[in-house]
Amino acid sequence: MSEKKFKYVNPKPVRFGQATDRISEHSVPLYRCGPHVWNVGGQDDVAVYLLDTGEGLILIDTGYTESVFLVVHNIWKLGFNPENIKKILLTHYHGDHVNGVASLVHISHAEVWLSKEDERMHQLYCRADRHGIHTAPYQVTNFYDDNTLIVLGRFTIETKLTPGHAPGCTSFFFEDTDEETGKTYRCAVHGGLGIAYLKPDMLANQDQTEEAAHRFVKDCLELAERPVDINMPSHLNQADIDNNLPEDLNDYTWFVADYSWHDMLVNRAEAVKRFWPDRYPEYQKN
């Protein structure tokens, strides 16, 4: 069996978030990852997914203040108008995922969606979030309800609260159909898999208790069993995307890998278990 091409890798020593003054060194080309989905983020750290619904555009996350111009440029490059963004769905409140909101809302007047849990955190830390990244002010207009689907055009998006990396991390599930082939693909974005905040001495930084770590493990292992054809990581390193792009950047079928979602979530669950050997005896030192 050939080696799996999409797997979790540790972040590079320096990624765009630590080098926002060196954009050219951390640029990633626009690429298509589903029949009607592209990563328009333009840098090697946080993904910004654009969904063409046929009745307007949806963005999942917006990236950094310093890279929002790349998002706008890439939307135009695809032949779309940024003014046609209807909904901005935020995975969580951290500045590296939300700092483009204000600029993009100014252009488009789009709805801004966030979890109620993270709206509380957004209001607490809007001046300087716990990443040390300044969070540009923005207004949330809609809250997720996991019992209510988000529908626009060809997309019906299911949301699921998946706390841990932040109290209100939200994950997204939807199907995308290629009209030319008739094939439908199950796509997923996990809201946040960075696990440093789930260490025993770090939970308070996110205003969370120990149970947040154990819920994260449980959620990851349960969601790992959910069938997903195209894994869309919120950070590119979570599936080694920036090191593993296809020659044809329009060939979304390169990203069809039914193991990637499962393996990524299991990897993160196992990593958190190691922080808590008393709770997970298999990780106790001999």
Residue 271: give the domain boundaries: 16-283
- Read off the pLDDT of residues 101-135 as tens digits, 9 standing for 90 and up: 999 999 999 999 999 999 988 887 665 544 455 67
The answer to whether position 213 is within a domain reads yes
The answer to whether position 88 is within a domain reads yes
Count of domains observed in the chain: 1
The answer to whether position 150 is within a domain reads yes
Q: What pLDDT score was predicted for residue 121?
A: 84
Residue 143: pLDDT over 60:
yes
Q: What pLDDT score was predicted for residue 129?
A: 47
Q: What's the predicted TM-score (pTM) here? A: 0.95
**Domain containing 56 — which CATH number?**
3.60.15.10
- Read off the pLDDT of residues 48-94 as tens digits, 9 standing for 90 and up: 999 999 999 999 999 999 999 999 999 999 999 999 999 999 999 99
The answer to whether position 166 is within a domain reads yes
Least trusted range by pLDDT, from 8-17, 103-112, 161-170, 263-272: 8-17
The answer to whether position 181 is within a domain reads yes
The answer to whether position 1 is within a domain reads no
The answer to whether position 6 is within a domain reads no
The answer to whether position 7 is within a domain reads no
**DSSP per residue over the chain, as a string?**
-PPPS----PPPSS-GGG-TT-GGGGB---EEEETTEEE---BSSB--EEEE-SSSEEEE----GGGHHHHHHHHHHTT--GGGEEEEE-S-S-HHHHTTHHHHHHHH--EEEE-HHHHHHHHHSSSS-TTS---------EE--TTS-EEETTEEEEEEE--SSSTT-EEEEEEEE-TTT--EEEEEE-S----GGGSTTTGGGGT--HHHHHHHHHHHHHHHTS--SEE--SBGGGGT-TT---SSTT-GGGGB-TTHHHHHHHHHHHHHHTT-TTTSGGGS--
